[in-house]
Structure 1
Amino acid sequence: MPVASVRPRGHTCGQPARPSPATWQHGRVTAATHSPLFPRVPDSADAVLEGLDPEQREVATALHGPVCVLAGAGTGKTRAITHRIAYGVRAGILQPSSVLAVTFTHRAAGEMRGRLRQLGATGVQARTFHSAALRQLQYFWPKAVGGPLPRLVDRKIQLVADAAAACRVRLDRGELRDVTAEIEWSKVTQTVPADYPPAVAKAAREAPRDPAEIAQLYAAYEDLKRERGVIDFEDVLLLTVAVLQDRQDIAEQVRAQYQHFVVDEYQDVSPLQQRLLELWLGDRENLCVVGDASQTIYSFTGATPDHLLDFRIKHPGATVVKLVRDYRSTPQVVRLANGLLAQARGRAADHRLELVSQRGPGPEPVFTEYPDEPAEAEGAARRIGELIGAGVRPSE
């Protein structure tokens, strides 16, 4: 399949990704006077709201009940949700220790914690799903199961290789990666080895090898883990779900600790992560989710935007806010992106966001078509080399 690559014609110099910090004045963004390297901690709850655009401010002040934030690329979603948490804490509406903010990477969680500190909201837990689950599992395992928590496996792919050897199946490195990915997909979709072949058929998923053979390797992998007394990252979520489902007393203890939840990149939540979130919540609705169905990138691992798209069905009274002011890209790039997304089909396409650039004009993009992904990578690298050779700073 041909691969399209879009790049700006020429380059822009010294333009920030988006105003930071910034002040919203008369419908336009202007730079704040204090240094972004040493930001001033807001001296009040109302000061936390300064610098937010109208939609971001709406997110920040929506502190009760279910909230769904549909945020396009470059629209300041992290800014909106961190200011929401900080405003709630500074206003005395949210207790810092009762808030759990969940995102998908350690880097994103670290950035969120840093921003909350800058806003004077210390004590809020910002973690990945796995990190939050592992912390709970380590604490409750002695009470729920007894003994120490099994060790996390260091190299999953090596364990898959050992399972293949036990099954007398030869796999090269690429095949090992493929089979490992299928095992991960099975676990996050809560599919056991025996159910893998029908599950693959039902999901119309293209298996890298015969599904019956992958099911055999998956079963051998699970047997090896038990023999060696180890667990993998997917087990962390599965075991936490099992403990919360089976031990009502532990579930109630977790729910007493965490009263308010924020989930970033909600379009990439897997069925297993969604189940864990539901167990954390119980029958409460103090949940804020943020996402964009057009930005789903982990569907190959079992993630689905359906949870985001169905949020308003599951929570009929939810507050819904759309962030469409794009501070990252020029009007030329945003116009092209909007046009590209308009060609998409499917359920997610029906809920696409029409972005509006907040930056000044820039060069017109150039559209280049390549026969495959390696050719695209080579072409992009070659063009980058040309730009650097012409004097463009690599940071641009």
Structure 2
Amino acid sequence: MALPGPPRAGGVRVSAVRIGADEIAARLGLHAPTPEQRAVIEADPRGRSIVVAGAGSGKTETMANRVVWLLANGAVDVPEVLGLTFTRKAAGELAERVRERVGQLVAEGIADVRLDPLESAAVFTYNAFAGAIYREHALRIGREPDASILGEAAAWQLARGIVSASADPRLVELDASLDRVTGAVLTLSRALAENVTDSRDVRAFAREFLAMHDLPIEAPRKRTPFDTFVSALGVVEALPPLLELADAYAAEKQRRGVVEFSDQVALALQICTAHPEVVAEHRERYATVLLDEYQDTSVVQTRLLSTLFRDHAVMAVGDPDQSIYGWRGASAANLARFGRDFSESGEAVAYDLSTSWRNPVIVLDAANALIAPLDGGIPKAPLRPSPFAGDGRLEVSWSETIDEEAASVADWLAERMRPGGRTGALLCRTFAHVDLFASALRERGVPVHVLGVAGLLDQPVIADLVCALRVVHDPTAGSELLRLLGGARWRVGPADLAALG
């Protein structure tokens, strides 16, 4: 995905506000913004702003209307707007919303906006934006710009080859299977990239930590988060050989001319750090930047963005209570650090979007009670119902068995989801129950779409297929072979399986 268009005259043009958010909404036939939304839409075009947007608060609509307000007041041109979010779906929705609003703006003659069909606001996912920087400037750091993206299966295969070819005797001491070591190498390699950490620094940490091995350690009087200090030592002891494998994996990727998504962001940061002219080019190209779901940005993504757009016109939108990517280096504390990361003064203006437009009162009361003890590092207003929200209704059902519960839930949904009616969602605490509930719904004629890979892999026929593939690949896959022999196809009994040894 190439970055759109040649560099333009960058910088926000500031003049007296010609038209306010309320007037724009009225002339476009939109709902008038709330006071909170108006404050966000009309925020200083040149400043750094952080918007804490609660669930269902209309942040996408507000971001689109922010762009419209900037255009209507001549602060920026359409191609000078950069929007970043996490998923292609969210990027598409934001781009479509902006395109629709700009079209209305021009049609109504509200502003002298030149609408070129070949130009549009640049809306990317964070990884796609980093990938575009990498491909455009890879040669500056001695990399191939057309490097292939390594998919999950190919990455696993490459890492597994590195591990299986290793003769390091320390791997035997780990007492772990080949696949488990492979998974650890991939996790460690990606963690190094996501956290902008050199393996040499981690080795130094491991040496210092392991130096405490000879300290007298008493048996703990209570269970600790890591159980015992000794178990922590065991984990750290595994780092040195795994780090060497992670380094070998990184070297082999470079030799083959392939990269992973996490590599693209880290390499884009390397380019921007080493070549200030790349930073200047992007600051010239994009006059204003919108960062969506900012609470889920990782360390390397935050460093890349702050390197590019520090002291630039940036508005970040997020919710510390909706952070879901902590497992890969993201932290909701990013919101609290936004001012320090993006402003020389360390300050940013904070705004709230706290009116939830899609939830009844009972849901918001429960949500506020649940998140009240949480500390996201940044003040957040409690969620408020919209003027049109009802009280909501909570129904509680108790079943003796999981089968009875599945039947009861399926009956409840089937009664309400008649053809042409509304869709519904069913949340399960564990994937082990998904197939049971899905089967009960299908028996009642309710179409079901299971989200998540485990929903498919837990189906017996798929599990048998996966076992067959593992047995063909690895003759020592004993548990998978037992499943196949004892299954419906071969029906080998327990006594015969025991005789086979």
After TM superposition, the score normalised by the length of structure 1 is 0.76
- Return closer, same or farther for 1:374/1:209 CA change in 2, 3 Å cut-off: farther
Q: Distance in 2 between matches of 1:226 and 1:393?
A: 46
What is aligned with 1:138?
135
Matched, 1:264 2:275: no
Q: Distance in 1 between matches of 2:69 and 2:353?
A: 18
What is aligned with 1:65?
47
SS of aligned partner of 1:310: helix
CA apart distance, 1:43: 11
Q: Distance in 1 between matches of 2:307 and 2:24?
A: 34
Q: Distance in 2 between matches of 1:262 and 1:333?
A: 29
CA apart distance, 1:310: 2.2
CA apart distance, 1:390: 7.1
What is aligned with 2:264?
236
Q: Say which of 296, 314, 318 aligns to 1:291.
A: 318
SS of aligned partner of 1:224: helix
CA apart distance, 1:255: 1.6
Paired residues of 1:60 and 1:87 also in contact (CA < 8 A)? yes
Paired residues of 2:282 and 2:308 also in contact (CA < 8 A)? yes
- Return closer, same or farther for 1:393/1:142 CA change in 2, 3 Å cut-off: closer
Unaligned runs of 5+ in 1: 1-41
Paired residues of 1:265 and 1:292 also in contact (CA < 8 A)? yes
SS of aligned partner of 2:330: coil
SS of aligned partner of 2:352: strand
User: For 1:308-332, what per-residue CA distance to the aligned partner results, in whole angstroms no more than 9, with x for missing partners?
Assistant: 0123456555332111111222211
Residue type matched to 1:292 in 2? D
Paired residues of 1:193 and 1:219 also in contact (CA < 8 A)? yes
Q: Distance in 2 between matches of 1:120 and 1:271?
A: 34
Q: Say which of 170, 177, 186 aligns to 1:180.
A: 186
Q: Distance in 2 between matches of 1:100 and 1:383?
A: 43
Residue type matched to 2:370 in 1? L
What is aligned with 1:247?
275
Q: Distance in 2 between matches of 1:242 and 1:142?
A: 12
CA apart distance, 1:178: 4.7
Richer in helix (by share): 2
CA apart distance, 1:55: 1.4
CA apart distance, 1:131: 0.8
Using the TM superposition, name which of 157-166 and 358-367 deviates more.
358-367
Matched, 1:191 2:191: no
Residue type matched to 1:53 in 2? T
Residue type matched to 1:128 in 2? T
Q: CA RMSD in A?
A: 3.7
Using the TM superposition, name which of 289-298 and 335-344 deviates more.
335-344
Matched, 1:112 2:71: no
Q: Distance in 2 between matches of 1:357 and 1:389?
A: 37
Q: Distance in 2 between matches of 1:144 and 1:214?
A: 27
What is aligned with 2:150?
153
CA apart distance, 1:232: 1.8
Paired residues of 2:81 and 2:287 also in contact (CA < 8 A)? yes
Q: Distance in 2 between matches of 1:381 and 1:280?
A: 47
- Return closer, same or farther for 1:120/1:337 CA change in 2, 3 Å cut-off: same
What is aligned with 1:361?
391
Matched, 1:167 2:148: no
What is aligned with 2:328?
301
Task: Give the % identical residues.
Answer: 25
Paired residues of 2:192 and 2:198 also in contact (CA < 8 A)? yes
CA apart distance, 1:100: 1.1
After TM superposition, the score normalised by the length of structure 2 is 0.61
Aligned runs of 1:203-222 on 2, under 5 Å?
210-222=238-250
Residue type matched to 1:50 in 2? L
Paired residues of 1:45 and 1:87 also in contact (CA < 8 A)? no
CA apart distance, 1:387: 6.9
SS of aligned partner of 1:67: strand
- Return closer, same or farther for 1:82/1:277 CA change in 2, 3 Å cut-off: same
Paired residues of 2:47 and 2:314 also in contact (CA < 8 A)? yes
Richer in strand (by share): 1
Q: Distance in 1 between matches of 2:397 and 2:312?
A: 45
Paired residues of 1:48 and 1:86 also in contact (CA < 8 A)? no
Q: Distance in 1 between matches of 2:137 and 2:337?
A: 32
Paired residues of 2:283 and 2:308 also in contact (CA < 8 A)? yes
CA apart distance, 1:85: 1.3
SS of aligned partner of 1:75: coil
Q: Which has the higher contact order (CA 8 A, sep 6+)?
A: 1
Residue type matched to 1:181 in 2? T
Q: Distance in 1 between matches of 2:438 and 2:393?
A: 16
Unaligned runs of 5+ in 2: 1-21, 104-118, 210-224, 227-231, 399-426, 450-501
Using the TM superposition, name which of 244-253 and 104-113 deviates more.
244-253
Paired residues of 1:296 and 1:304 also in contact (CA < 8 A)? yes
Q: Distance in 2 between matches of 1:357 and 1:209?
A: 52
Q: Distance in 2 between matches of 1:353 and 1:43?
A: 27
- Return closer, same or farther for 1:350/1:257 CA change in 2, 3 Å cut-off: closer
Q: Distance in 1 between matches of 2:178 and 2:396?
A: 39
- Return closer, same or farther for 1:349/1:150 CA change in 2, 3 Å cut-off: closer
Q: Distance in 1 between matches of 2:262 and 2:432?
A: 35
- Return closer, same or farther for 1:224/1:140 CA change in 2, 3 Å cut-off: closer
SS of aligned partner of 1:119: helix
SS of aligned partner of 1:68: strand
Q: Distance in 2 between matches of 1:44 and 1:112?
A: 19
Paired residues of 2:185 and 2:243 also in contact (CA < 8 A)? no
Aligned runs of 1:21-32 on 2, under 5 Å?
none
CA apart distance, 1:289: 0.4
What is aligned with 1:273?
301
- Return closer, same or farther for 1:56/1:259 CA change in 2, 3 Å cut-off: same
Paired residues of 1:184 and 1:234 also in contact (CA < 8 A)? yes
Matched, 1:103 2:85: yes
Q: Distance in 1 between matches of 2:274 and 2:430?
A: 50
Paired residues of 1:333 and 1:365 also in contact (CA < 8 A)? no
Paired residues of 2:48 and 2:339 also in contact (CA < 8 A)? no
Q: Distance in 2 between matches of 1:199 and 1:123?
A: 48
What is aligned with 2:30?
50
- Return closer, same or farther for 1:59/1:394 CA change in 2, 3 Å cut-off: farther
SS of aligned partner of 1:120: helix
What is aligned with 2:430?
376
